[in-house]
Amino acid sequence: MKTLMPWRKPVTFFSPVRQDWDEMFQRFFGNAEETGTTALASWAPQVDVEETNDAMLVKADLPGVDPKDVEINVQDRTLTLRGEKHEEHEDKQKQFHRIERFAGSFFRSIPLPVEADLERISATSNKGVVTITIPKKASAQPRKVAVKAKD
């Protein structure tokens, strides 16, 4: 639909819905008109969450992040992973035309199940992957019950 006033968008039945979607995408991805790109405005590490019989494992990809710059907290059954990735170094002689590597703070939040033992959580870092081990409470462990024959 063409309009006589190009600075004004035409109003249709779906305009409010489209406006809500546009606002949601801008909150998550930033404003493409301001940044000149549709790249993410912020960064959150990719995580894998695994469950075994005795624990949950959260593996977060944090390449280039020093383990001392990572903070792990548990509050209200929510595991929070936050930290900061620093710029490697600044070289005044180089001219960048595009930088896609992220430097700055990050945040990730993961809800934990009721059976998680919040007192025994541990974390290790190896080659840019932080592994958080959340043991299950003993009462949540699977238990085998023997069936006895009644004579």
Distance CA 88, CA 46 (A): 21
> Which amino acid is present at 7?
W
29 pLDDT band (50/70/90 cuts)? low
15: enclosing H helix or E strand: helix 15-29
pLDDT at 131 over 90: yes
The fold for domain 42-87+103-139 equals Immunoglobulin-like (2.60.40)
Where are the domain boundaries for CATH 2.60.40.790 in the chain? Answer: 42-87+103-139
Higher pLDDT, 81 or 24: 81
Higher pLDDT, 15 or 50: 50
**pLDDT score for 74:** 94
Percent of the chain with pLDDT over 90: 32
59 pLDDT band (50/70/90 cuts)? very high
**pLDDT score for 64:** 83
Percent of the chain with pLDDT over 70: 69
